[in-house]
Amino acid sequence: MIGVFDSGVGGMTVAKAIEDLCPQLPLIYFGDLARSPYGSKSSEVITTCCCRNIDFLIQQGATVVVIACNSAAATAAETLRRQYTLPIIDVVTATVEKAAMASTAGRIGIIGTRATIRSKIYEARLTTVRPACRIASQACPLLVPLVEEDWLGKQETKMILRRYLYPLHQHQIDTLILGCTHYPLLGDLIQARIGKKVRLVDSSAEAARHLKEFLDKNPEIGSNMTEHERQSRFFVSDSTGPVQRLADRIFGRPIYLEKVDV
C-alpha cells in the first residue's frame, strides 16, 4: 500500500492528485494535526515526527511512503532514506525538475514554510539542474494556519498573500513554485496576485506524477493487496471542524478521518 503523510490536511492535495492519476490505488494517509505546523519547528523535531509517521504507516501496511510535506522533505528526506529500506518519494524532487523545465527566462520564485525556505533545498537543486537560473524565495509562515482554519476566501488571507508575493513581483519571476502542499488550496488567489503570466508549479501534482512514474517502473508494488487493503483510509492525530470541512472539499466527498494516538 502507498503511505502518504503531512503535518495536516495539506498533504491531502497530494493524496487527491494521486487518486486522480491512479484511481485504482488505495492509500493510507496520516495527517499529524496534533503537531502541525511543521514549518515553524526545528529540524530535529520535524525529523522525529517524520520517523513516528513512517513507523505508523508501515504498521498499517505501507510499502512505499510519499512525504507529502515540503517542510518534512526539505528537512528530513535524506536522513529518512538512510534510516528506512522502503522507497520514499518526496515532494521536492519532481517539483524541481518541472520548474527548471517550465521557466522560460530562468527567473524562478519559491514560496514555502520557514523550514522549507531555511533549508535552501530548492535553490541547491535548481541551480544543479539549471545553473544560470535566478531564484527568489519567500517564507510564508502564516499561510498554513490560514488554510487549516479554512480562511481561504477571507480578506485577511488575500491581504497577507499580497504582502508575501510583493517581493517576488519585484524580481520579475516567470515561474512560481508552490513549495508547500497546503498552497494549491490558495492557487487561484496566488495566481490572481502574482499575475497570470507567471506559471505556477504545484508540488502536490508533481509528487503524484513522480509516484506514478515510480509505480509504472515497479508494477509489483500495489498488487497482491488483501481485501481489507483495497480501501483508502485517512488517519489524523487530532481533528477539528475546519479540517474535516477541508478534507471533504479537497476530495469532493465526505472523508472519514480516523483519530489515532501516534
Is-catalytic flag, 49?
Answer: no
Give the nearest distance from C-beta 258 to ligand DGL in angstroms.
20
C-alpha closest to that of 39 among 4, 66, 73, 13: 73
Give the nearest distance from C-beta 172 to ligand DGL in angstroms.
26
Which residue in the set 3, 5, 10, 125 belongs to the binding site for ligand DGL (CB under 6 A)? Answer: 10
- In the numeric block, the cell 472519514 is attached to 256
69 vs 96 by CB, closer to ligand DGL = 69
Residue ranges in 22-69 assigned as alpha helix (H): 43-59
31 near ligand DGL, rule: CB under 6 A: no
Is-catalytic flag, 50?
Answer: no
Q: Which of 49, 50, 140, 180 is catalytic?
A: 180
Which residue in the set 181, 208, 236, 237 belongs to the binding site for ligand DGL (CB under 6 A)? Answer: 181
Closest residue to bound ligand DGL by CB: 39
Using the contact rule CB under 6 A, the part of the chain among 2-10, 57-65, 152-160, 187-195 near ligand DGL is 2-10
57 near ligand DGL, rule: CB under 6 A: no
95 near ligand DGL, rule: CB under 6 A: no
Which residue in the set 5, 6, 49, 103 belongs to the binding site for ligand DGL (CB under 6 A)? Answer: 6
C-alpha closest to that of 4 among 90, 123, 100: 90
Grid coordinates standing for 251?
Answer: 476530495
Extended strands (E) in 69-123: 88-90, 107-112
- Rg (the chain; Cα; Å): 17
C-alpha closest to that of 47 among 95, 79, 3: 79
C-alpha closest to that of 179 among 93, 252, 80, 253: 93
- Alpha-carbon distance of 75 to 117, in angstroms, equals 10
Interface characters, 198-237, with ligand DGL (x: CB under 6 A): ----------------------------------------
6 vs 19 by CB, closer to ligand DGL = 6
Site for ligand DGL, residues 104 to 123, rule: CB under 6 A: 113, 116
DSSP secondary structure code for residue 40 in this structure: T
Phi, psi of 195 (to 5 degrees): 105, 145
- Alpha-carbon distance of 143 to 252, in angstroms, equals 22
- Alpha-carbon distance of 221 to 33, in angstroms, equals 28
28 vs 67 by CB, closer to ligand DGL = 67
Where in the sequence numbering do the catalytic residues fall?
69, 180
Binding site for ligand DGL (CB under 6 A): 6-8, 10-11, 36-39, 69-71, 113, 116, 144, 180-182
